[in-house]
């Protein structure tokens, strides 16, 4: 069984680092109402999907899993931005939920704070999970949850814009051919590519496919490869292939630009598929290309289902059953369909593609994707991401060259991760 006191001493420090500000009533007790040892009582589940109400397929699945385990589920959906702080505070107060579903970059933060048990401790089988996806929930050689699904980034393209510019999408295989296509599009009087380069984690998420696609590593932000990636973005702005609005674009506003029908390409994710169908023009999707070809590693989005540390060890057996229910092959298909994710296992991915061939490109992108906290970065990642987005903001605005911006970023990241 898990060490019930492991890491408790660092939770307070982690809370301060996250600048927790909440009212007592907003961060109160989980009010579990049962022992759990015999499979009776109420078990709490916190997730980052407040958009789903009790009538949704997601909440119905949670209820079914509880029924199958012989317990009642008390589910609370929190905004993603609030969930981390509330979960850390609950752990400090000794009233963590029984099951916690959190964004994958947050797993290492929770693990370092001693909030989560490991999959080994609770005998959760992760052998069928794609290695690149499980890596996002691994810290110090231990895995702290099971991925519920994944999304990532690719390039949507407008077929009519490319056709009018004389661009064959089959020729777009690397950075030079993509840039050449953008040049043809501009010459034809249309707009090239839109993306999000906002100075937040959202911007870093969108920069990473190009960063990793260059061969760069997050441990060295000022490498020649990293400079090449940032130069690609800045050159696109200078040449008029991408709009200056990318500096302030979120992924939503970037999509809205693409939806006007004037752009050839947009970097965005699986979550825009429904909107793509409503756009009113024919579109296609290709993976983000690497600098010399192939599929660039894009960052994985998506959450992990984890079991927090509990005072009552008798609850773990039922919690394990709940996690197994939510992530088994049959229910995984329902979950990823509801959440617009790609499944974390090959068996369910194959079923998704069989039912919807359009997902084939997304499965390929997810297979090539990479966790932001992978490479054993863990909680160092946010301290690297912020200097990185500061760098591309400086370069895109013209206040610094790509090389100078990334040199400053590497210095800041090195100081922050000592």
User: In terms of domains, do 66 and 129 share one?
Assistant: yes
User: In terms of domains, do 18 and 166 share one?
Assistant: no
Length of the chain, in residues: 418
Supply the pLDDT for residue 226: 98
Split the chain (418 residues) into runs of 10 and give each run's mean pLDDT.
35 42 31 45 96 94 96 94 91 96 92 95 94 92 94 97 98 98 98 97 96 97 98 98 97 96 97 92 97 96 96 95 94 90 95 94 94 89 96 98 98 96
**350 within a domain of the structure (yes/no):** no
Structure token pair of residue 406: 């990334």
Supply the pLDDT for residue 252: 94
**161 within a domain of the structure (yes/no):** yes
In DSSP terms, 193 is beta-bridged to 265
Supply the pLDDT for residue 29: 31
Supply the pLDDT for residue 140: 86
In three-state secondary structure terms, 143 is strand
In three-state secondary structure terms, 40 is coil
CATH of the domain at 318: 3.40.190.10
Positive or negative CA dihedral for 182, 185, 186, 191?
negative
**362 within a domain of the structure (yes/no):** no
Cβ count near 262 (within 10 Å): 15
Show the domain range for 69. 8-147+303-340
Supply the pLDDT for residue 12: 45
Instruction: Tell me the H-state helices in 259-359.
Output: 273-277, 316-327, 329-339, 346-355
Supply the pLDDT for residue 40: 67
Domain tally, the chain: 2
User: In terms of domains, do 331 and 390 share one?
Assistant: no
User: In terms of domains, do 97 and 228 share one?
Assistant: no
Closest among 163, 155, 129, 146 to 285, alpha carbons compared: 155
User: In terms of domains, do 277 and 410 share one?
Assistant: yes
CB 308 within 8 A of CB 96: yes
């Amino acid at each position: 069984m898990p060490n019930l006191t492991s890491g408790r001493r660092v939770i307070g420090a982690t809370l301060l680092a996250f600048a927790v500000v909440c009212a007592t009533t907003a961060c109160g007790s989980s009010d579990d109402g049962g022992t759990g040892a015999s499979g009776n009582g109420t078990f709490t589940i916190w997730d980052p999907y407040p958009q789903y109400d009790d009538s949704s397929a997601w909440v119905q699945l949670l209820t079914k899993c509880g029924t199958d385990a012989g317990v009642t589920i008390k589910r609370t959906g929190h905004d993603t931005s609030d969930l981390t702080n509330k979960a850390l505070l609950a752990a400090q107060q000794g009233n963590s939920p029984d099951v916690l579903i959190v964004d994958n970059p947050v797993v290492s933060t929770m693990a370092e704070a001693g909030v989560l048990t490991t999959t080994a401790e609770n005998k959760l089988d992760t052998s069928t999970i794609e290695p690149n996806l499980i890596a996002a929930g691994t810290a110090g050689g231990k895995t702290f949850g099971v991925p519920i699904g994944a999304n990532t980034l690719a390039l949507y393209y407008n077929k009519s814009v490319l056709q009018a510019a004389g661009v064959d999408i089959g020729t777009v295989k690397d950075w030079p051919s993509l840039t050449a296509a953008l040049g043809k599009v501009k010459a034809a009087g249309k707009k090239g590519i839109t993306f999000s380069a906002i100075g937040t984690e959202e911007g870093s998420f969108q920069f990473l496919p190009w960063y990793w696609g260059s061969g760069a590593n997050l441990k060295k932000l000022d490498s020649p490869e990293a400079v090449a990636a940032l130069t690609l973005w800045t050159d696109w702005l200078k040449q008029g292939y991408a709009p200056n609005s990318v500096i302030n674009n979120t992924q939503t506003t970037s999509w809205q630009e693409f939806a006007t029908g004037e752009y050839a390409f947009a970097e965005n994710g699986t979550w825009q598929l429904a909107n793509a169908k409503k756009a009113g023009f024919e579109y296609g999707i290709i993976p983000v290309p690497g600098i010399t070809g192939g599929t660039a590693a894009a960052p994985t989005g998506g959450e992990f289902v984890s079991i927090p540390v509990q005072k009552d060890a008798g609850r773990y057996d039922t919690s394990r059953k709940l996690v197994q229910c939510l992530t088994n092959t049959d229910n995984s298909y329902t979950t990823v369909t509801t959440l617009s994710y790609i499944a974390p296992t090959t068996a369910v991915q194959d079923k998704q593609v069989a039912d919807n061939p359009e997902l084939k490109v997304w499965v390929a992108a997810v297979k090539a994707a990479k966790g932001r906290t992978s490479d054993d970065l863990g909680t160092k990642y946010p301290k690297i991401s912020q200097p990185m987005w500061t760098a591309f903001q400086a370069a895109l605005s013209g206040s610094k060259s790509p090389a100078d911006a990334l040199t400053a970023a590497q210095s800041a990241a090195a100081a922050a991760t000592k």
